[in-house]
Amino acid sequence: MVRNDDINDRILRELSRDGRISNLELADRVGLSPSACLRRVQELERAGVIKGYRAVLDRAALGVGFVAYVTVGLNDHTKASQEAFERSISRSPEVIECHNITGSVEYLLRVEAADLAAYKVFHTDVLGTLPQVAAITSYVVMGSPKDGRA
């Protein structure tokens, strides 16, 4: 298990802001020598604390103009029903995130589409045709004043 201390917290915070930062710059920002900093980053990677590095995409530049969070309630609460739903959703490129949650519904999805018309096609032709789905509620994102996802 990796040690959880102030320096590792600062390393993780800096890498979360900029995963392409050079080791030299990272070391300077967290107050370590470059070799000590590299050892810590490698330790965090080996321990699975750092799972990977990603590019942060500008969705609007990619033609995504519509984002919604969608709750989905299933009509059958069996493991087989959940697995079938998850398999179907994993094949839908519009679903950026799928979370199995507690509460009155089973799933929370982050769905991205070009526009409202494209979302309607997904809602009707994908979600609406899945035999496991009993309830769908859409929450349209109007703005994101804070979004820390990478």
At 113-122, the pLDDT tens digits run 999 999 999 9
At 8-51, the pLDDT tens digits run 999 999 999 999 999 999 999 999 999 999 999 999 999 999 99
Phi, psi of 108 (to 5 degrees): -125, 125
Check for a shared fold between 6-46 and 60-140: no
* Band of pLDDT at residue 57, cut at 50, 70 and 90: confident
At 89-133, the pLDDT tens digits run 999 999 999 999 999 999 999 999 999 999 999 999 999 999 999
How big, in percent rounded to 5, are the helix, strand and coil portions of the chain? 40, 20, 40
Alpha helices in the chain (DSSP H): 6-17, 23-30, 34-46, 79-90, 116-121
Residue ranges per structural domain of the chain = 6-46, 60-140
Helix (H, G, I), strand (E, B) or coil at 89: helix
Q: Which class in CATH covers the domain with range 6-46?
A: mainly alpha
The domain made up of 60-140 has a fold known as Alpha-Beta Plaits (3.30.70)
Query: Cα 32 to the chain's mean position, in Å?
Result: 31
Question: Residue 85: what residue type?
Answer: F
* Band of pLDDT at residue 3, cut at 50, 70 and 90: confident
* Dist. CA 83–CA 12, nearest whole Å: 34
pLDDT at 150: 57
CB atoms within 10 A of CB 107: 21
